[in-house]
Chain A
């Protein structure tokens, strides 16, 4: 599912609270799975610059108690799955933005998360690379049956990737105001999904409601 909302509505903070990077002032987070089963993909790909792609991917496996040799093999397999075989001994500084993003993805997916949090992970990529990585991600998620919580500004991306889109109201004290089920069947091909008859009307509704949310509150202009 996707979560969309105006800037400053606390989308990123929500993800950070779920993964435990941010303390909540009050209330608690219920996810129905252990913290070790949650993975998060940030907007930036913070790979360790002094470790190779493979070592970066193996890192999380090592933290979960896998021995080094096996972790490196497993990492290699994940890199190959994401189309990076042959690049696994490169340092992040020698990889392109799209390749780094794939390494970050492999790093998270290698831990077999049940819930994957995404904070606009593909925002910095160019359109073609972005479309390809998104498609691969959708296929992986559908096959491995991973739940995804995706926060984004991009309404089209929210619709094509998700089963449900939730609209977060203008902050402060933002809350979810609307749910929009997406009737496009799976497995999905993202390019085709845009041509599904349900796509355009849904996009229009979302756009209208989000604009109203922003217009509601003069503070939104500053954001």
Chain B
């Protein structure tokens, strides 16, 4: 019988085996290092990134862009969502635009942002922002429309007015929906930042990635992919702790 609590051990063994086979195949010259560098060379590349200390400036650039885009995107998404849910004419005008933005892969806007805002930080923030804001908008917009009627009636019959409804029903509901989508938003924010840097930048993890590509350095490329994954996983962890804390009633 498989013990589900031991699953992580089996997963670890499988991963180690996979890496060992990969490494062995590389050392036996079965893999072309130009395309498929061995795990050890990827590790070396990763170590070298940190050893020189030059990685920090790139990490900082990506983090700044992603977090700025995330915060602005969440704020603007909530504001637009609330306004659209409460004022029908705004919903009428905004919904088709948002639907369109939601339907197309929004990263196609990246080159446009570079032309408008230059190759600096602003174009990356803008891309991260547009990715996040659309998701949050729909979360809040549909959320407010589907708010539990029974809760609303309850507050009204207990004597609560509009401000009570906002404070006790709408605000907590919106918080719950936004937090429920926080991880998606974090993922989008980093996608925006990295893709933006990939298109045109002078620093950032995405910039390093495009540099590695242009110099055909696949070990560096894979090291960067690993690094970005690790970074996003750390942020995911923080996001789910925040979610647990604020949604402890759940």
Within 8 A of A (CB), among B7-24: none
Contact, CB under 8 Å: B160 / A42: no
Instruction: Select from chain B the residue with minimum beta-carbon distance to A36.
Output: B159
Q: Known interface pairs A42-B153, A44-B150. Does A63 touch B249 (Cβ–Cβ under 8 Å)?
A: no
Distance to closest chain A CB from B178 (angstroms): 14
Contact in complex: B154, A42 (CB < 8 Å):
yes
CB atoms of B156 and A51 under 8 A apart:
no
Q: Chain B binding site: helix, strand, loop or mixed by DSSP?
A: helix
Q: Whole-angstrom distance from the CB of A202 to the nearest CB of chain B?
A: 32
What are the interface flags for A32-67 relative to B under an 8 Å C-beta threshold, 1 for contact and 0 otherwise? 000010011010101111111000000110011000
A111 near B158 with CB under 8 A, answer: yes
A-B contact count (CB 8 A): 52
A195 at interface (Cβ–Cβ under 8 A)? no
B169 contacts across to A, CB distance below 8 A: 48
Contact B168 A51 (CB under 8 A): yes
Identify B158's interface contact among A49, A60, A91, CB under 8 A: A60
Chain B hits for A64, CB < 8 A: 159
Shortest CB-to-CB span from B185 to chain A, Å, is 21
Tell me the nearest residue of chain A to B148, going by C-beta.
A46
Tell me the bound Cα distance from A108 to B169 in angstroms: 18
Which residues of chain B are within 8 angstroms of A223 by Cβ–Cβ distance?
none
CB-CB < 8 A to A25: which residues of B?
none
Task: A107 to B155: give the CA distance in the assembly, Å.
Answer: 11
Distance in angstroms between the alpha carbons of A108 and B155 in the assembled complex: 11
Q: Are A48 and B159 in contact (CB under 8 A)?
A: no
Known A59-B168, A111-B158; further 5 A-B contacts with Cβ < 8 A: A51-B168, A59-B155, A59-B158, A63-B159, A63-B160
For A92, the chain B residues whose CB sits under 8 A away are 249
**Residue A19 interfacial (CB < 8 Å):** yes
Contacts of A36 in B (CB 8 A): 159
In the assembly, what is the distance between CA of A50 and CA of B179, in Å? 14
User: Residue on B with the closest CB to A94?
Assistant: B249
Question: Which 3 A-B residue pairs are closest in the complex by CB-CB distance?
Answer: A60-B158, A46-B150, A63-B159
Q: Summarize A's interface: helix, strand, loop or mixed.
A: loop
Which residues of A have CB within 8 Å of B248? Answer: 91
User: A21 and B153: CB pair below 8 A?
Assistant: yes
Residues of B within 8 A of A181 (CB): none
Q: Which of B123-159 contact A (CB under 8 A)?
A: 148, 150-151, 153-159
Does A93 sit at the interface, judged by CB under 8 A?
Answer: yes
Using C-beta atoms within 8 Å of the partner chain, give the interface range for chain A: 20 to 34
Question: Of A39, A50, A51, which is in contact with the most chain B CB atoms at under 10 Å from its CB?
Answer: A50
Contacting residue for A48 out of B153, B168, B250, CB 8 A: B168
Residue of B nearest to A64 (CB): B159
Beta-carbon contact of B151 and A46 below 8 Å: yes
Interface string of A171-189 (1 = CB under 8 A from B): 0000000000000000000
Q: Give the residues in chain A near B157, CB-CB below 8 Å.
A: 19, 21, 39-40
Contacts of B153 in A (CB 8 A): 21, 42, 46
Chain A residue with Cβ nearest B248: A91
Pick from A19, A60, A93: contact of B250, CB under 8 Å: A93
Q: Kindly identify which residue among B154, B161, B176, B249 contacts A46, using a CB–CB cutoff of 8 Å.
A: B154
Query: Could you say which residues of chain B place their CB within 8 Å of the CB of A107?
Result: 158
Docked pose: A40 CA to B250 CA in angstroms: 26
* B232-250 interface (Cβ within 8 A of A): 248-250
Answer whether residue B172 sits at the interface, using C-beta atoms and an 8 A cutoff: yes
Give chain B interface residues in 168-197, CB to chain A under 8 Å: 168-169, 172, 176
Which residues, 106 to 147 on A, are CB-close (under 8 Å) to B? 107-108, 111
